[in-house]
Amino acid sequence: MTLPWRAAVPPLCLVLILAVYTGWHAWRGRVHARRLASQVQDCRTKAEQGDAKAEATLASFYGRGRGLPQDDALALAWFRKSAEQGFAGGEAGLGYYYHHGIGVPQDDARAFYWYRLAANLGDANAETAMGAAYFHGKAVAKDDTEAVRWFRKAADQGYPLGEYDLGWMYLHGRGVRADRATALRLYRSAAQKGDPAAQSAVTRSLSRWRAYTLLLVLLWNLWMVSEFLYEIPRLAHESARRRRDSIAVGLMGIVSAILVSLTWYGYTHHRILCPGCGMNVFSACRWVLDGLVLVICVYVFRRKPNPVLEPDQL
């Protein structure tokens, strides 16, 4: 059986989309690499001139192996230079290295000392570390109320790890009255900024009922689209009304499938953009999707079947 040329259109479109997507990512990677190399060079120049912020940034480049070969000894040295000038980022970095014993013997007391200096200057990372120190009782007595206070300071600055930790405290009622709604709000805020623990927590908050509903609706949409693609070669021989009905159902299936996919992507990857009015893009998609599914149901079930003609009416 010879397939009509129209059957080759969907796979060709898919191949074209994948090629464009791959090329765009490759181009973006090259641009990012050139930009990073320029940033590293500028940062090194300023650090060698004694700029405390540049020293801490250069240390983070060495510590992460980002734009430079990973070197903990050089990272520690640059963090120490920055910290000795009283820069909060350098003090927080030095505290991190003492806390984890990277390049130096592990020492919670010295880590707490440097974290406190940085936290008093408003460094969100150090404030979160202070909260963790009070929560776990490292180098200081355990105090959930004090931990919440420091986590809140970091969360108020929009720091994702601080938001997640504060959300955890609200969820479990540690140092604060339990409040699941506030915990989920903080988790979602941290998830938007890419915190993996918060993303996992938000995904787990998705009810099984909604997850299964989204999956079933997506499968139904794909079935509608496949039926529409199957009908395309025969539409030229159908009446205008039949063509209009088939195209309408096919387009509704395509739009609905896109909205379901966006909603699911929003729940699992949490690329949530907030346009205002108390909604985000994916909650808006969900409302549009619910209305579209209702319209499709009404449209499909109210369609009158084609009349069956008796032999004497032919």
Handedness of CA 42, 48, 53, 55 (dihedral sign): positive
Q: What is the pLDDT of residue 273?
A: 41
Which secondary-structure segment (H or E) carries 33?
helix 9-48
The reply to whether 59 and 196 lie within a common domain is yes
Across all residues in the chain, what is the average pLDDT? 78
174 and 61 fall within a common domain: yes
Do the domain assignments include residue 13? no
190 with 98, same domain?
A: yes
Q: Is there a single domain that holds both residue 242 and residue 266?
A: yes
Both tokens of residue 175?
């140092």
Above 70 in pLDDT, residue 7?
Answer: no
Tell me: pLDDT of 4 over 70. Answer: no
| Rounded (10°) CA dihedral 209, 212, 218, 222 | -140
Q: Looking at the structure, tell me whether residues 193 and 241 fall in a common domain.
A: no
DSSP labels, 156-193? HTT-HHHHHHHHHHHHHTSSS---HHHHHHHHHHHHHT
Distance CA 68, CA 45 (A): 14
The pTM of this model reads 0.63
Among residues 181, 144, 137, 138, the alpha carbon closest in space to that of 165 is found at 144
Q: What is the rounded distance in angstroms from the CA atom of residue 28 to the CA atom of residue 238?
A: 47
Q: Identify the weakest region by mean pLDDT among 1-5, 95-99, 230-234.
A: 1-5
Of 205, 222, 242, which closes a domain?
Answer: 205
Q: Determine the structural domain holding residue 237 and report its residue range.
A: 208-304
Residues 300 and 276 occupy one common structural domain: yes
Per the domain annotation, does 134 fall within a domain?
yes
Lowest mean pLDDT among 25-29, 177-181, 236-240: 236-240
- Residues 170, 142 share a domain: yes
Look at the chain and count its residues: 314
Strand, helix or coil for residue 278:
coil
Quote the pLDDT of residue 85.
Answer: 93
pLDDT band for 29, please (50, 70, 90 cuts).
confident
pLDDT of residue 224: 66
- Domain end (from 205, 235, 256): 205
Structure tokens at 40: 């590293």
Phi and psi angles of residue 85, each rounded to the nearest 5 degrees, phi first: -90, 0
Question: Which among 117, 121, 193, 203 has a CA at the least distance from the CA of 162?
Answer: 193
Q: How far apart are CA 27 and CA 96, in angstroms?
A: 35
Among candidates 102, 87, 167, 105, which has minimal Cα distance to 131?
167
Specify the amino acid at residue 262. L
H/E segment holding residue 266: helix 240-269
Largest CA distance in the chain: 101
Give the lowest-confidence range in 10-19, 197-206, 286-295.
286-295
Tell me, what CATH number does 82's domain have? 1.25.40.10
Q: Is the CB of residue 53 less than 8 Å from the CB of residue 65?
A: no
